[in-house]
Amino acid sequence: MKRLLAILFSAALPFAGLAANLDRVVAVVNKDVIVASELQHEVQRILADLRQRGTAAPPMREFEGQVLEHLVARRLQLQLAELAGVNIGDDELNFALENIAARNKLSLAQMREAIVADGGDFEEFREEVRIEMRITQLRQKEVIARIGVSDAEVERFLAEGGATAASRYHLAHILIALPPNPTPEQQRSTLKKARQVREELLAGADFGQMAVTVSRGQQALEGGDLGWRNADELPPPFLDAVRDLPLQGVSALIPSSNGVHILKLLESDATGGRHVVEQTHVEHILIKTESGREEEALARIQSLRQRILAGENFHDLARSHSDDPASAVNGGDLGWVTTQQVVPAFGIAMRDLPLGQLSEPVASNFGYHLMRVLARRQHDDTENYRRAHARDTLRARKAEEMTQSWLQRLRDEAYVELHP
């Protein structure tokens, strides 16, 4: 989400409206079109982001081709999302925007002001977030939900020393892609191209610029930046390739079923193996909100707060009034939780609330809460973390390769005609 904010903040350039009847068509995507102004807007947006990253501008002709392929892939996914009924309602979108703001330590109003002050358009930002959410939900439905990780796989992964988080790597990535079911000649030509790219990198070519120009990886237009990855989150061939690389070193070629990969080690970090979390023992009362009746819910929660301050029993009121049935039967007691286990607005209020003090009404996507923090503790959650992390890591490994194959298949099965 932080990267999404940075990218969209950079989109402060003037945007010529998409008048398809007046604008040159640069691509036909099934029954849809992409026009030149749309391509140029995306080119300028990504160039602004690359400048923020300190990546040199790539050769414009190749770069525009990469951006056009990116727009084609995005359009295909949105078309499929429409067919599959994947939509994002305003309530869901508003909740996501509140989360983005909270993670950047801003209120939603402050985030709107920051976007406008940076020259952006908040409504355009809002719709970009909606599009990204639709694509994410589509991938969840079409790819991620079909990935299974068995208990046996987790046990084997742990037995082999996985999920220790002993090292972290900040990597950049280039994929010289193979087509589906490649012929021997296509395999040879892909390998030859990968060798040429690596030789240019070793001779001093800018890795980010090269990724933008030639890579078919999902982060190509971000200069190939994969961000920080724990050692156990990397596919074994990737880990073998970077484990002994010097900083800023370029890996050997890494063949796979999708093509040939090249990695660059940007940074590395050694970390410990223990996982200690802060847990909070908290109790709450929830009054749910309904559309058009928000003021009524706020009035109810404020009335309950005054009754508690006047001496009425919190637990009794929670049992009789709270709209959270799971905790209401326990007098509102949620037990020991971490901020990651609750929605962001609740977590922020819980984190900042002094022990024993009754909170002001706290708004979340569920409604209004009253809460009291009973205790805090440091809890060694290493074993649970290792197992959850192992499962997530195995799922992420499968997801990366399956998503790349899914996108390639989506492209191959579509009618796409390019007019760059």
Which is more confident, 301 or 391?
Answer: 301
Q: Is residue 137 located within the same domain as residue 71?
A: yes
Domains in the chain: how many in total? 3
pLDDT of residue 369: 96
The string of pLDDT tens digits covering residues 360-372 is: 999 998 999 999 9
* Helix (H/G/I), strand (E/B), else coil: 233: helix
Question: Is residue 281 one of the residues assigned to a domain?
Answer: yes
pLDDT of residue 5: 44
Domain final residue pick, 113, 142, 171? 142
d(CA 316, CA 331) in angstroms, rounded, equals 6
CA dist list (Å): 384 to 124, 274, 379, 395? 41, 11, 11, 17
The string of pLDDT tens digits covering residues 203-232 is: 999 999 999 999 999 899 989 999 988 887
Rounded average pLDDT over 327-332 = 96
Q: Is residue 12 located within the same domain as residue 113?
A: yes
Pairing of strands 259-270, 254-255: antiparallel
The CATH number given to whatever domain includes residue 114 is 1.10.4030.10
Tokens standing for residue 272: 């410990």
d(CA 11, CA 402) in angstroms, rounded, equals 31
d(CA 229, CA 167) in angstroms, rounded, equals 9
**What does the H/E/C string look like for 94-128?**
HHHHHHHHHHCCCCHHHHHHHHHHCCCCHHHHHHH
Rounded average pLDDT over 20-42 = 86
d(CA 291, CA 274) in angstroms, rounded, equals 45
Q: Is residue 302 located within the same domain as residue 402?
A: no
Rounded average pLDDT over 346-358 = 94
Question: Is residue 385 one of the residues assigned to a domain?
Answer: no
Tokens standing for residue 119: 């020259």
Band of residue 251 on the pLDDT scale cut at 50, 70, 90: very high
Question: Is residue 170 one of the residues assigned to a domain?
Answer: yes
Residue 401 has pLDDT above 90, yes or no: no
pLDDT of residue 218: 87
Task: Indicate the average pLDDT of the chain.
Answer: 87
CA dist list (Å): 154 to 64, 95, 140, 274, 286? 43, 33, 21, 18, 37
Residue 10 has pLDDT above 50, yes or no: no
Q: Is residue 117 located within the same domain as residue 132?
A: yes
Task: Round to the nearest angstrom and report the end-to-end CA distance of the chain.
Answer: 31
Question: Is residue 113 one of the residues assigned to a domain?
Answer: yes
Tokens standing for residue 301: 């929660």
Q: Is residue 51 located within the same domain as residue 86?
A: yes
Question: Is residue 351 one of the residues assigned to a domain?
Answer: yes
d(CA 413, CA 416) in angstroms, rounded, equals 9
d(CA 229, CA 224) in angstroms, rounded, equals 14
pLDDT of residue 21: 43
Question: Is residue 420 one of the residues assigned to a domain?
Answer: no
Question: Is residue 151 one of the residues assigned to a domain?
Answer: no
d(CA 405, CA 201) in angstroms, rounded, equals 26
Strand order across the beta sheet in which 259-270 lies:
225-230, 167-177, 259-270, 254-255
Of the candidate ranges 80-94, 161-175, 178-192, the one whose mean pLDDT is the lowest: 161-175
Question: Is residue 303 one of the residues assigned to a domain?
Answer: yes
Angle at 98 between CA 96 and CA 99, to 5 degrees: 65
CA dist list (Å): 136 to 215, 327, 403? 22, 31, 11
Q: Is residue 189 located within the same domain as residue 298?
A: no
d(CA 151, CA 331) in angstroms, rounded, equals 36
Strand partners, 168: 230, 269
Cα 259 to chain centroid distance, Å, stands at: 24
| DSSP-assigned letter for residue 358 | B
pLDDT of residue 262: 96
Q: Is residue 353 located within the same domain as residue 408?
A: no
Rounded average pLDDT over 33-43 = 93
Domain encompassing residue 293: 276-380
